[in-house]
Structure 1
Amino acid sequence: MPPFPPADHGVPPTVSTPEFVGRDRDMEALRDAASRHPAIVLIEGEAGIGKSRLLQEWLATDGPRRGPALLSVCPPLRESLTLGPIVDAFRGVTMPFADLELTGLAGVLRPLFPEWSADLPPTPEPLGDARASRHRLFRALDELIHALDVSLLVLEDAHWADDVTLEFLLFLTSRLPSGGPSVVISYRPDEVDAGSLLLRLTSRLPAGVTQARIAPAPLSREDTATLVSSMLGGSAVSTEFTEFLQERTDGLPVALEESVRLMWDRADITVRDGQWSRRELSELLIPPTVRDCTRERVGRLSPTARQVLRAVATLAEPSSDATIAATADLAPSECRAGIAEAAGAAVLHDDGRDLWRFRHRLAAEAVYEEIARTERADLHLRAGRALESVRPLPAARLAHHFRAAGETELWTRYSERAAEHAMASGDHTTAVVLLEDLLSAADLAPPDLARVARTAGVFALSRREPLDDVYHRLIATLRAVLDSPELSARQKAEIRNPLGRLLIIAGEAKAALAELEQAVANLDHDPTEAARAMTYLGWAYAGPWPARTHARWLQRAAVITAAITSPADRLNLAGNRAAALLMLGEEEAWQVIGGLPLDGATSSERLDLARIHTNIGTGALIWGRHADAERHLIVATGLADTEQAARLRYNAEIEQANLAWHTGRWKGLAERGTALAATDRDRPTIYLATVRLAARLAAAAGRDRAAEEQFHLVLEEASRLGAVDDTMEPAAALARLRLAVGDAGQALRTTDRPMETLRAKGVWVWGTDLVPVRVAAYLSAGRPDDARRLTAQFERGLRNRSAPGPRAALAVCRAHLVAAAGEHTRAADAYARAARAWSALPRPYDAMLARERQAGELLAAGRADAGRELLAGQYESLFRLGARGDADRVAQRLRELGAEVPRLWRGGRKGYGDQLSPRELDVVRLVATGKTNREISRILAKSPATVDQQLRAAMRKLKVTSRTALAVTAVETGVLPAERTGARPT
């Protein structure tokens, strides 16, 4: 290339592709990481920063050396294609699948690779659970990757990937320590939603794998000058021109390249004194964005090339000559000429698979925005027609194109098909978004409107995400659909049924009851769904109905269930009814439970039974029937493990942790709760359960401030979610903290609303924690009549119920009343009875607290020796259990009585001196990954105050004064291994 063009021309005959500049450090980091297989490399940066160019240069100069590579790009579709990028990555594979030694598991790949169906094993039996199906699909893809000996998987623009693709990447990378391909992923951080799974992939990298995070920076002025010079014959670029471009483009390589090309097209640059310079400012209108640059450049191409570019922009992803030709309405030869012209102008790029795309995404957007709306509809229609011949059928893309074309019938057909495919892959959110979009934007005929609305509601019930905008939008849309006068009462009932259950999730219990009640009135044609709606009406969540109303609905459901012939439906309804009866405190529940199987004949039955037995375990805990609870939770865990249903197992493990708390098995319980919170943080019920567990332990340990913060959080969130039964314990715990400091008024105010709910619902088995503390608060406030009335009401509510937990609480209430009357000997006997009742469950912590009160009454009755001996026994028992705060209180009382208090530190938590404790080490690990105190508090289920305290202790021990210094020192001193750190602490 000559140093600069001949002087009589003033500009070069053409503009060259820019050299690869300013990326030496990034390239070295990429090479270094890739050379230490297996590796995970994350390339992050804004659009146009040069991520793709970095990958292209690396692949061209180094590339995979162990085996084949899989390369793919995530297209920016309105709704991402489920697993589309992963499927596309295999299209370059030339080895026949028949030559691979694949197991029968690979049969699930047939729908993804129909062109290889003849070479794949038969399709295995479908699983009844989408999550299990998705896990099996992931395993099959992983097997295929290993069979092909793939050494590298490159995925560009992962910010546009669907959730299932991201879940597969999480699955794949988690297995890398045991072998697999290196993974290189590029993405734009500014286009990643806060709830995206991509954040997990970028923040929770596995140990034992080479890890690198590369973030190309904007080009410096020197690199800008070099890049521009390389495009313009190699001559120098003036300082003024360099600064002008740097100011206008901020050193963004794509913006620089496009600006230079446009300026060359307009003859707005020239050679002066051997340097490239721009003309006078008054003569030059430099577009401020790449979009403007692209529009003007494209305008200089031939009509055929522009039509090709409009087609490619409409298609919005790499496409073949034939697809582009059909979309552009051009003959194949004309299309190829247009593609060649656009490629020669460096607007289009061949991705190596004979598929064409814009070199830059922003350029595609600029071209698309310039298309007249009337022409857009024609382009999308032709694109849809062309893609209908593609296999496997790209349903989501077809829905996108036919929507833009105004073809409602085809839009509906392919949206429903895409939603079904997404559901089968476990991507419930995409399925719901597709259908909600259809409902809210399309003018559907009544039959289509009813069908799509019902399906959207049912699909939404399978979502595992917490309450979010997807739920709120769909609820609003379904309500609007119900206002349609064209729908029949039956059609509306089929929509109200799932809507009512969605309203339960949204915490709108009263509205949920109204929708479900209306649905039941018109579901005679579908007994199973009618019984299901009645069962939901029988759940005692928030709302105005008392227990007897819920019980009547459950009785109606039982009558209908008896006539249902489907074994799976009968099992589901019976299990749900049993759990609902338990929550209502109905003795009949145990008869229904006795008829439930412990195992299922099919995968779907086992999954259903795992959920049912977990719910029964939860209800048995409320009743205080701990042996029953443990038995059902063991069954649930075994079934969940058999079906590899991780989330169902987490549900059972949470209840097992609750059981461990009640039965006094506290060793390691805090760590179990923390692990459960970190494993499944997306669901509010799981998170709140772990916070409640941490709050219990904090209160018992005497960390009142942390306990109060955590119990407040649980109380507020449970109230917001409408889980009224879950408000009883936190309100009671907060009231106990108020009573401990003599604030009976606040204790009563804290328990007012839960007490109103308990009385209104009449489900007195919920009162185990709440009623005793309410009675104590009444007595402390000088309201003994209220205390007696509440105790009598509690007793009536528990009549004829084998609920040992609430009955033990009733014994405590009676003891409180006797103690308040000053009958100390009788009160001591009453507290002893309560302690025996608690011990029989067993619930040892509450038994110890009852015996502490018994000791106090013995002392008040003048039996000093017996009181001190019993008190000393409780001190040791509380200390050994882990209730150090209570033990300290008892120790102080013993000292006041002149008794010697033994030191019991041998079995207690050891001191760590200048070393970090395990809890401080957990905090340091998370600080080193860039987490804030508030984020750490949520992950570890601790209060922000506790996290701050442990952070300061760690900084003091490591003799540092900043979070950054803490992370660095922890690595340098070996406290943390180097690979455990990630983002710089803030």
Structure 2
Amino acid sequence: MAQEATGRGGRSAGRAGRAAGPRGFAFVGRERELAAVVGALTARPAVVLVQGEAGVGKSRLVAEASAVLRGRGVGSVLGGCHPLREPLPFGPVIDALETVGPLLRPDARIGAAAGALSPLLPDLADRLPPPPDGPADPAGRLRAVLGATRALLTAAAPVVLTVEDLHWADDATRELLLLLAGGLPDGVGLVLTFRGEEQAGPLLGKAFRRPAGTTLLDLALQRLDPAAVSRLAGSALGVRPTGELSRVLYERSAGLPLIAEEDLITLAAEPDAAERPELLGVPRSLREVLAARIEPLSGPAHALVEAAAVVAVPAREELLLRSADLTDAQGSDALVEALARSVLVEHAPDSYGFSHTLAGRAVYDGLPGPRRTRLHRRVLALLAAQDPPPLVQLAHHTRALGDTERWLVHARAAIDQALAVGDQGTAAMLLRQILDLPGLSTGELGEAARSLAEAIGYTAEATDATIAALRRIVATPGLAPAVRGEIRARIGNILRTRDGGSAGVEDLETAAGELEADNPAHAAKTLAVIASMDTGDATAAERSAWMDRALAIVDRIDDPETAAIVHTNRLVSLPACASPGVPGLIAALPRRSDNPRLLFTTVIGLSNAAEIALCVGLDGRVAAWAEEAVALGERAGLPGLVVYSSSYPVLLEWTSGNWQRWDTALAAYRTRFPDSPVTDTGLLGAAQGVVAAARGHAGEAAERFRRAVGQDATGVLTLPSAAGLARLSLAAADPDAAWQVLAPAVRLLRRRELWPFAFDLLPTAVETALLRGDRAAASALVTDHAAGTTGLECPGADAEHQLAEGLLLVEGSPVEAAAAFERARAGWLAIGRPYPAALAAERAAAAAGTADPEAAAAALTEAIAVLDGLGAVTDASRCRHRLRGLDRSKPRGPRDPAGLLSPRERQVADLLARGARNKDIAAALFLSERTAEHHVAAVLRKLDTTRKALRDAGR
């Protein structure tokens, strides 16, 4: 039976039973919400978002759901966010996982990836695999912790991970939770609670899209209605409250359970007030309710409560006693008194504080200024004496005292500690506070801004406000050019990563100029990056100029790492990527080095070379370069690059025509890399669209193409999906719609001079222009393509050029057109791509059909055999249609006996199994809808089945 655990610094997820909560209150007014949460967490993997104002009962709802699930054998772990958390990377999640031990069966198989958590979970170190040689960069640590968290939760499943008060989470924690939510293991639920009114921007840093197969519940918790408040009162008082009492309780609390409960504690202690609610005698605000609860306390207990409000976080008894300046005897009695009256609660063994942040804030705000100041000083001295000192809390108390100089010292120390342990989120929070400080010197301001830019560059998503703050600092008079350049370069990289397209490029180019004098290596790398970006609107000439500047800088400095980075980026720039010298340059990349950056550069070079080889039709080189990139990336601890490099062998199954193996390989890739950013974009996205269209699933194909194009319309790898969308419009006899999709892609093709890439864009654009009657545009494309590929090694582009030439010749010289199409076919076969070769053969047969019908029929028959083997039913059906048009005089063979499906009926049955409608079948097989209806009826009759049964069997 799974057990429940409690996260360090969090509330116990099982503290509240159905009948009574932590202070004796029944669970009322949330029955529907509880059912919804339990239902969602039963259908795991599941993500549950619970938002609501402070005190509305989010924690209680989660605790109730955990109790129900615990009775069904589902464990839970809990972590919470806090504004004064000490530095710990991904702290709230680590807090929760620290208590997962009781949920791990003795025979639990814990994946090797979980070893990355061993240093962060010392109490579980004996259960976890040894930590790997982790990557040093924050992004690498994030990936390692993500994989380890998944592995540990998988071992503990069924389990629910809850993180409360996410509005206080740092950016790194948000990013970890975003990635985790995007690929939860089976059997795992994730619950996130937050205050909507205190959450600026997306909860997890960027919009969360529910992954297929994951349950999502987004629940906004409302205040209790009057009837629920009355039931709450009855459970606390033991008797049904009078109508007057119920009315007063509801008016005072406005349905907020936290305030109603505080009133009910008072009523339970003063029975007369239950009959005469006016004896409560306090206004409706929580602050005054708490004041009424605190008033009867003894002097020592009162002092202890005030000290707890200033300490601000759950604390040990000793710290609270010393902060209140109480003896052990006084303090022990005072603490018992405060607990007995529910002013303070026990959060964990020897950890005491207010039941809710609002309660502590209410007490704190009610303290007179001199009293607050004395308490802050006393707490500060006590905390400073601890070993190690809690630096974030020290900074908090010195700031509250107005001691800017000491606050800066503690804040900087806390920042250094946070960065040392990889907690970029806490560092960024403190750096923002420093930037808001008036009177900082230019040097201090620049240093803080540079550090903040560094910290936020590795977190989920920098806000516009942060970017604006950095821009204001960049504009500060007197800032050193190199510092300004570093900050501006970070801004550019953040925008480039966050927004895509040309975002950040202007900042990066300007930064390179500012850096060149004092930091030429940084300047060269910056220029090389923007020269080789695969997105954006910069022209080929602009990119070439940036690369030339980078190379010129490299020539005058002695920096092997910078030289390697610049030259590797040069490999992927056009037209260098299709140069015959690329294999030699790849062979010269270092494979062994003590410098991890050099190995990182080599893996990037190998990975990019494999991708470009696919793009230009050099398929024979792809496997070796990709496999070496994967092996070296795994050895060097670069899992992010392994994700990209592992996709290219999958694509080879597609290009080589092994479409059944392609299905298997793609499924395995999804399983191995559930968070891969390229699974449904770029080349993989386009390939899935092409296969879906060929198999007769035009709707699925369109969706895949649109999704890929929608990622970034200025990205090079969106071009094949643009071509795929246009092909669907051409199949629907709508060349105008096709051109609407193609126009921006063609502009990008020209602007970037992407001529070596074989993305089907050129022949599709030429065919579309001809169908629209714009022969001049078609001819210009073919001419420019020839000029742009001269002297380059790009056999795929050469085959596409022959297709485009043939399209221009069809109308006036069909025999010459057929020859051009045949050359395209031969080119594709030489590369090893049977699918485009078969389509080229179809074009050749169509062009030569009238002149030599027998040769055309033979070519079509061969193409049909290839397409049938691939499962490309749409293309095979179109070829059969052409074949029938060549010679209708041949007698047909005998009809198939009843109960045996003809080849055509087998195609129809396959489409029915995939849920296709008659209209879809007609379009896929080039039939009229009426003919499709006859085939469907015959299939269902011969198989003695129904559409639904076929569809269910096909799942």
TM-score > 0.5 by shorter chain: yes
1:859 Cα shift?
A: 0.6
Q: Whole-Å Cα distance in 1 between the matches of residues 346 and 304 of structure 2?
A: 14
Moved more, 401-410 or 752-761: 401-410
1:293 is aligned, of 286, 289, 293, to: 289
Q: Which residues in structure 2 correspond to 1:797-946 (within 5 Å)?
A: 797-820=788-811, 822-860=812-850, 862-898=851-887, 904=903, 911=910
Task: State the 1:480 CA deviation.
Answer: 1.6
Matches of 1:487 and 1:808 in 2, distance apart? 55
Three-state SS of the structure 2 residue aligned to 1:509 is coil
C-alpha distance in 1 between matches for 2:875 and 2:64: 66
Find the partner of 1:354 among 346, 350, 371: 350
* Structure-1 separation of matches of 2:595 and 2:916: 43
Q: In 2 relative to 1, CA 20–545 (structure 1 residues): closer, same or farther, beyond 3 Å?
A: closer
User: 1:82 — aligned with what?
Assistant: 89
Q: Which residue of 1 aligns with 2:264?
A: 260
Give the match's secondary structure for 1:486.
coil
- Note the C-alpha offset of 1:557: 2.9
Aligned residue for 1:453, secondary structure, equals: helix
Question: Structure 1 residues 664, 248: closer, same or farther in 2, change over 3 A?
Answer: farther
In the alignment, the residues of structure 1 paired with residue 369 and residue 948 of structure 2 have an alpha-carbon distance, to the nearest angstrom, of 64
Q: Tell me the residue number matched to 1:701.
A: 695
TM-score, with normalisation over the residues of structure 2? 0.74
Matched AA of 1:891: R
The equivalences for 1:108-187 within 5 A come to: 127-130=135-138, 133=141, 157=164, 159=166, 187=193
Q: Residue 19 of structure 1 aligns with which residue?
A: 24
Letter in 2 for 1:892: H
Structure-2 change in CA distance of 1:243 and 1:324 (3 Å): same
Match of 1:278 among 267, 276, 279: 276
Which secondary structure state, in structure 1, belongs to the residue aligned with residue 756 of structure 2?
helix
- Structure 2 unaligned segments of length 5 or more: list them: 1-20, 102-109, 894-901, 918-945
Identity of aligned residues (%): 26
Alignment-derived partner of residue 451 in structure 1? 447
CA distance in structure 2 between the aligned counterparts of 1:156 and 1:279, rounded to whole angstroms: 38
> SS of the residue aligned with 2:770?
helix
Instruction: Please say if residues 87 and 423 of structure 2, whose CA atoms lie closer than 8 Å, have aligned partners that are also in contact.
Output: no
Taking a change above 3 Å as real, the CA distance of residues 305 and 592 of structure 1, as seen in their structure-2 partners, is: farther
The one-letter code sitting in structure 1 at the alignment partner of 2:351 is L
Q: Is the 8 A contact 1:263 1:286 kept in 2?
A: no
> What is the CA-CA distance between 1:836 and the residue it aligns to?
1.0
Shift of 1:625: 1.5
Change in Cα spacing, 1:263 to 1:25, as seen in structure 2 (3 Å) is closer
Alignment of 1:57-456 (within 5 A): 74-77=81-84, 81-85=88-92, 127-130=135-138, 133=141, 157=164, 159=166, 187=193, 195-196=203-204, 228=233, 237-238=241-242, 240-242=244-246, 245=249, 254-262=258-266, 270=272, 276-279=274-277, 287-288=283-284, 290-298=286-294, 301=297, 305-324=301-320, 339-371=335-367, 383=379, 386-408=382-404, 428=424, 431-432=427-428, 434-436=430-432, 438-440=434-436, 444-456=440-452
Preserved contact between residue 692 and residue 714 of structure 1 (Cα < 8 Å): yes
The C-alpha deviation readout for 1:76-101, integer Å capped at 9, x for no partner, is 5489853445776899999xxxxxxx
The aligned residue for residue 477 of structure 1 is 469
1:341 Cα deviation (Å)?
A: 4.3
Higher mean alpha-carbon deviation, 679-688 vs 779-788, is at: 679-688
636-645 vs 786-795, greater mean Cα deviation: 636-645
Partner residue in 2 for 1:11: none
Deviation at 1:347, TM superposition (A): 0.6
Instruction: Please say if residues 153 and 159 of structure 2, whose CA atoms lie closer than 8 Å, have aligned partners that are also in contact.
Output: no
Establish whether residue 623 from structure 1 lines up as the match of residue 627 from structure 2. no
Could you tell me how far 1:307 is from its partner in structure 2? 4.9
- What is the deviation of 1:635? 1.9
Cα distance, 1:377–1:555 mapped onto 2, change above 3 Å: farther
Question: In the aligned structure 2, how far is the partner of 1:653 from the partner of 1:292?
Answer: 62
Give the Å deviation of 1:70: 9.1
1: CA distance, partners of 2:504 / 2:148: 44
Read off the aligned partner of 1:823 and give its amino acid letter.
S
Higher mean C-alpha deviation, range 79-88 or range 255-264: 79-88
Question: 1:320: how far off?
Answer: 2.1
The one-letter amino acid of 1:897's match is L
What's the RMSD between the two structures over aligned residues? Answer: 5.9
Q: C-alpha separation between the residues in 2 aligned to 1:757 and 1:685?
A: 21
Structure 1 residue 817: Cα displacement: 2.0
Residue 475 of structure 1 aligns to a residue whose secondary structure is helix
Q: Which residue of the partner structure matches residue 744 of structure 2?
A: 753
- 8 Å CA contact retained: 1:17, 1:231: no
Q: Any idea what SS the aligned residue of 1:757 has?
A: helix
Flag the 1:818–1:573 CA change in 2: closer, same or farther, 3 A. same
Give the deviation of 1:865 after TM superposition. Answer: 1.1
Aligned 8 A contact 1:852 1:870 in 2: yes
Counterpart Cα distance in 2 of 1:518 and 1:174: 37
- Cα 1:709–1:799 shift into 2, 3 Å: same
Query: How many angstroms apart in 1 are the aligned matches of 2:676 and 2:153?
Result: 32
1:830-868 deviation digits (Å, cap 9, x = unpaired): 1100111122222322212111110011113x2111112
- Judged with a 3 Å threshold, the aligned counterparts in structure 2 of structure 1 residues 697 and 157 are, in CA distance, closer, same or farther, namely same
Partner of 1:98: none
1:105–1:352 CA distance, 2 compared to 1 (3 A): same
Of 545-554 and 321-330, more deviation after overlay is shown by 321-330
Match of 2:491 among 479, 494, 499: 499
Q: CA deviation at 1:214?
A: 14
Q: Once structures 1 and 2 are overlaid, which stretch shifts more, 627-636 or 296-305?
A: 296-305
Label 1:199 to 1:684 Cα distance change in 2 as closer, same or farther (>3 A): closer
Measure the CA separation in 2 of the matches of 1:419 and 1:736.
Answer: 55
- SS of corresponding position for 1:350: strand
* Aligned counterpart, 2:544: 551
- Provide Cα deviations, 1:195-252, integer angstroms capped at 9, x if missing partner: 5499999999999xxxx999999999999668646755x5664355346546765876
Superposed CA deviations along residues 362-392 of structure 1, whole A, max 9, x for unmatched, are: 3223334445788767766665554444455
2:778 paired residue number: 787
Q: Structure 1: how far apart are the matches of 2:472 and 2:381?
A: 32
- Following superposition, the deviation at residue 490 of structure 1 comes to 2.0
1:599-614 to 2 correspondences below 5 Å: 606-614=599-607
**Uncovered stretches (5+) of structure 1, i.e. residues with no partner:** 1-15, 95-101, 921-955, 960-969, 977-986
Q: Which amino acid aligns with 1:635?
A: E
**Structure 1 residue 663 displacement after superposition:** 3.1
8 A Cα contact 1:50 1:254, kept in partner: yes
The equivalent residue for 1:632 is 625
Give the residue type in structure 2 aligned to 1:316: A
Task: Verify the 8 A CA contact 1:82 1:163 in the aligned structure 2.
Answer: no
Distance 1:554 1:92, change over 3 A: closer
Q: What corresponds to 1:962 in structure 2?
A: none
Q: Distance in 1 between matches of 2:184 and 2:535?
A: 44
